[in-house]
Structures are given as structure tokens and as C-alpha cells.
């Protein structure tokens, strides 16, 4: 029955064209709609950083999906820069169309390496993120730009083969999410995913921001990555930059509209 209906619909199209006067706007619109499929939007791949998980993107994902963007929130392993980048790269391998790769915090270092060798990655977006140069680590960047309150707030727990770092729940809101409601910040602290300490000391390979256009959202009151460091990395990468005054490191949670806006700007530039 379904096949007969489909065939009937296809057969009806020429009959409609014949019955419509030549030059009719309706006929032209119908022909254009049939002949020209809509251009697919790029897939937005979101990579969370340390002390967070993919749920930190929830409000941003909702906004992007309402605009018609396919979205993938990648579960960043947080084990080491080379391995994490290879994992994200493997996800990008499965996406046939254009990609906008977005990283928050340590996720910025991951996307910088993961995008290399992927011609379908058309834009990089850094959200209060690290954008290291070749041979540079997250720790080296923090050492160069003082002001981070992250290190003294960390709690370290051993795991087989290494050490994991967590943000002490008592310090989490102050350091990571100062402009997030207290109840939400408590949930984020309890559900945070730890990062292997070694990941922060691992140097970056050749960064993709040297060849791929980038956008940067600077959190103006970030206490994890100093805003001066974010602005310097954005300038070095030649990024389109927006600064949100008073925003914490968890700017993607506290300012999802602004975060989505920057991502959409990058996505529109790919078309």
C-alpha cells in the first residue's frame, strides 16, 4: 500500500506542473523545492573538559537542536591528551559531512589535536578553553598566566596506573561555577568526572587552529583559566573572539544562549 501511495505521489507531480500556467510562481517554487534539496547543516561535536561531563552542554544542545543542527556530545575520556584526541578524532571519522568542533576547558586542547587531518572540520570553537601551541601543555599555560585558583582546590586520588584530580566539592562553585545557581553547582560538583593529572602536563602536537578558522568565548571572571590566558590564546590563534564579563569557567552552563550564539556563528561561516 505504501509503495502505491509513493508512486501515485510521484506521478501526480508532472500533472500538477502541466495544469499550472507557465511562469506561475507556484510552479517555480514547486520545481525549485523538488530540484534543490536544502543544504545540510554541519554537525556540532561538543567536547567537555575536566571536572565536567557531556551534561554540561545540555542547555546549549537544546538551543542548537532547535536551530536544526545535529549535535554529538562526546564523552571525553580525560586520560591523556594524545589518547583523548585520538578518541575524538575517531568520532569525527564517522561523520560524513562538515563538522564544527567545540571544546570547553581542557577539551580545547583535545579538539586542537583531534581536528588535524580532518578536512571536514570547518571550524573550531573554544569555550573558556585551552588552545595550546605545539609542545605546550595546559600546565605551562597556567604557569605563564597567574591567577588560576584551580590547583589548590584539587583533590588527588590514585587509580591503577596514575592519579586522578577532582575539584574539592567545597571549592567547586567558587573556582569552577561562581555564576551558576548553588543547587546546580552542587550537582555538578558531585557528578564531576576526574581527569588524570598527567593529561594537564602532556604537550600538544601541531594544533589545528593554525589552519582551521576558530572562534573563542572568553569567560571574563574565570578562576580556573585566567581570562588573560584565554584572550592571549585567542589572539595567537586569530580567533573571532567574544568576552562575557562576569562569566565563570562554567560559562556554557551559566550563559547557554551566548555559548550557542558563538557556535552558530562558526557554523554559519562554514556554509
Please return the burial class of 169, using the count of CB atoms within 10 Å of its CB with bins 0-12, 13-18 and 19+.
middle
pLDDT value of position 271 = 75
Q: How far apart are CA 86 and CA 79, in angstroms?
A: 11
Sign of torsion over alpha carbons 213, 87, 56, 182: negative
The backbone torsions φ and ψ at residue 124, rounded to the nearest 5 degrees and listed phi first, read -115, 140
Cα(187)–Cα(182) distance, integer angstroms:
9
**Cβ 46 vs Cβ 57: under 8 Å:** yes
Q: How far apart are CA 80 and CA 5, in angstroms?
A: 55
Kindly compute the dihedral angle of the four CA atoms of residues 192, 193, 198, 200, in this order, to the nearest 10 degrees. -50
115 in helix, strand or coil?
coil
The pLDDT assigned to 159 comes to 95
**Neighbouring C-beta atoms of residue 186, cutoff 10 Å:** 15
10-residue stretch averages of pLDDT, the chain, 271 residues long: 32 32 36 45 97 98 98 98 98 97 98 98 98 98 96 96 97 98 98 97 97 98 98 98 98 98 96 75
Which pTM was predicted?
0.86
CA–CA dist 111, 49 (Å, integer): 11
Residue 5 has what pLDDT?
A: 32
> 45 in helix, strand or coil?
strand
By CB neighbour count within 10 A (0-12 exposed, 13-18 middle, 19+ buried), where does 100 fall?
buried
- pLDDT at position 32 is 33
pLDDT score for 38:
58
What is the Rg, in whole angstroms, of the alpha carbon atoms belonging to the chain?
22
Whole-number pLDDT of residue 270: 85
Find, among 39, 38, 41, 37, the residue nearest to 99 by Cα: 41
Residues 6+ apart with CB under 8 A from 47: 74, 76, 88, 101, 102, 103, 104, 107, 110, 111, 114
Amino acid at each position: 500500500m505504501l509503495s502505491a501511495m509513493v508512486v501515485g505521489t510521484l506521478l501526480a507531480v508532472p500533472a500538477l506542473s502541466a495544469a499550472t500556467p507557465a511562469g506561475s510562481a507556484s510552479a517555480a517554487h514547486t520545481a525549485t523545492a523538488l530540484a534543490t534539496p536544502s543544504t545540510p547543516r554541519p554537525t556540532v561535536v561538543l567536547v567537555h573538559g575536566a571536572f565536567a561531563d557531556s551534561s554540561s552542554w545540555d542547555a546549549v544542545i537544546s538551543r542548537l537542536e532547535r536551530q536544526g543542527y545535529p549535535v554529538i556530545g562526546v564523552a571525553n575520556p580525560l586520560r591523556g591528551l594524545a589518547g583523548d584526541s585520538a578518541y575524538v578524532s575517531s568520532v569525527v571519522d564517522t561523520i560524513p559531512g562538515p563538522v564544527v568542533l567545540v571544546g570547553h576547558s581542557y577539551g580545547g586542547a583535545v579538539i586542537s589535536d583531534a581536528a588535524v587531518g580532518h578536512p571536514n572540520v570547518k571550524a573550531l570553537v573554544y569555550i573558556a578553553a585551552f588552545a595550546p601551541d605545539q609542545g605546550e601543555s595546559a600546565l605551562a599555560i597556567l604557569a605563564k598566566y597567574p591567577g588560576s585558583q584551580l590547583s589548590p582546590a584539587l583533590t588527588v586520588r590514585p587509580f591503577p596506573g596514575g592519579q586522578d584530580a577532582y575539584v574539592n566539592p567545597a571549592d567547586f562553585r567558587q573556582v569552577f561555577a561562581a555564576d551558576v545557581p548553588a543547587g546546580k553547582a552542587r550537582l555538578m560538583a558531585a557528578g564531576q568526572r576526574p581527569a588524570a593529572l598527567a593529561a594537564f602536563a602532556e604537550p600538544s602536537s601541531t594544533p589545528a587552529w593554525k589552519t582551521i578558522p576558530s572562534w573563542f568565548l572568553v569567560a571574563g571572571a574565570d578562576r580556573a583559566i585566567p581570562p588573560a590566558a584565554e584572550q592571549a590564546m585567542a589572539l595567537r590563534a586569530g580567533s573571532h573572539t567574544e568576552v562575557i564579563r562576569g562569566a565563570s569557567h562554567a560559562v556554557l552552563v551559566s550563559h547557554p544562549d551566548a555559548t550557542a550564539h558563538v557556535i552558530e556563528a562558526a557554523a554559519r561561516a562554514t556554509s
